Structure 1
Amino acid sequence: MDSNGKDRGTIKWTSMMMPEHVAMLKDYLKNEYEAEEKPIMDEQVMEQIFMSIEESCEQHQTIDLHVHEKIKREKIRGRVTNINYMDRHITMDTDELFNRKIKFDDVVGIEFI
């Protein structure tokens, strides 16, 4: 091999992205795919929500429960069949799942249908 740098085995390849490109890509991904933050719920609002959930359970009403699971907000339609205060979860019968369990801490809203 000659000393002109033609030995490809000694060339160290690095990323071809400039720091500005990396920053732009991170901003793009943040805006497009970033998870929604869970809203901070007021204690009085939570009490109203759970009173409504108890009422829907007693009257066997179908409700839309707004839940913040993992990274996004989701609307779950169904009937509350059980409220477990010890384990802090609600059991609902939905179209997709029979006896779906939802944590108290994940509930962010309720709508009566």
Structure 2
Amino acid sequence: MIKDRGTKKWTSIMIPELITDLQHAFYEDANRTDNPIIDEYQQAEFDESICYAMEYNYPVEFTLWIKGYTEIVKGNVHFVDYIQKHFRLKQSNGDLAIVKMNDIIGVKVYE
């Protein structure tokens, strides 16, 4: 009969730093989402909202999907580059942010 210690033999290598790293990695993977499908009507609505915001210089909030995670970027649309397919946003702190058109999953205009 084999006398195995079971889980005791693995407890020696489970140092606290390793445990927190594993929990952090598991938490990140649990929050990862699939790329949502944006149809033509939603894309047209996004374009209309962006044009409206550019015309009256209203701030815009973009919801982006980047590598499985959502991110929110706020600012005024400064320039639209149709060749490279991205927007240039001037944020409230004066920085210039670049938003790719393919990453956009939501647009909200603040009036």
* Fold match by TM threshold 0.5: yes
Deviation beyond 6 Å, 4+ runs, structure 1:
none
CA–CA distance in 1 between the matches of 2:94 and 2:42? 27
* Paired residues for 1:1-113 under 5 Å: 16=10, 29=26, 32-34=27-29, 35-95=32-92, 98-113=95-110
Name the CA shift for 1:97/1:56 in 2 (closer, same or farther; >3 Å). Answer: same
Name the CA shift for 1:61/1:99 in 2 (closer, same or farther; >3 Å). Answer: same
Return the offset for 1:71.
3.0
Name the CA shift for 1:97/1:67 in 2 (closer, same or farther; >3 Å). Answer: farther
Letter in 1 for 2:28: Y
CA–CA distance in 1 between the matches of 2:10 and 2:63? 44
Q: Note the residue ranges of structure 2 that are not aligned, 5 or more in a row.
A: 1-8, 12-21
Return the offset for 1:84.
0.7
Q: Larger radius of gyration, structure 1 or 2?
A: 1
Percent of pairs with identical residues: 20
Q: Any idea what SS the aligned residue of 2:61 has? A: strand
CA–CA distance in 1 between the matches of 2:54 and 2:88? 10
TM-align CA RMSD: 2.4
Q: Note the residue ranges of structure 1 that are not aligned, 5 or more in a row.
A: 1-14, 18-24
Q: Any idea what SS the aligned residue of 1:68 has? A: strand
Q: Any idea what SS the aligned residue of 2:53 has? A: helix
Q: 1:26-77, CA deviations, whole angstroms, 9 ceiling, x for partnerless residues?
A: xx92xx2222222111111011101111111121101111111233111111
CA–CA distance in 2 between the matches of 1:96 and 1:102? 17
